[in-house]
Amino acid sequence: MRLISVSVVFGLTLAGCAAPPASEMERRTRMAAAAEVSATQCAGFVGGYESAKQLKADANTNIIAARQLGATDADLAKARKDVQTTFNTAALFTSIPEACNSLIGSLAWTSN
């Protein structure tokens, strides 16, 4: 039950904190932020070093795409803050492994 609620929390974050992304740029900033949090805080749950490197590459790809669509440093900072806050909240109410599992699953599900 807890995992389902965490999945919903991360689904909302990646999908727009309960609202769909206003644009493709916003979706890309959220995807980048989720990949960054997954790589930096969930490396042991994504398969270690190589998987974390792939998440970093995915984050960079999404950052480039978001910037091409008009994302600013403020847009990226907001997405990072939103994802980090949601991750911290999920970890508080469940556990870090469950929060990581949910974040990684949501990220994989919403990726291109």
pLDDT of residue 10: 53
Integer Cα distance of 4 and 112 in angstroms:
23
Could you read off the pLDDT of 42-89 as tens digits, one per residue? 988 888 899 999 999 999 999 999 999 999 999 999 999 999 999 999
Q: Are 83 and 13 in contact (CB under 8 A)?
A: yes
Residues 51, 56, 62, 66, Cα dihedral to 10°: 160
Per-residue confidence band for 38, with pLDDT thresholds at 50, 70 and 90: very high
Identify the three-state secondary structure at position 1. Answer: coil
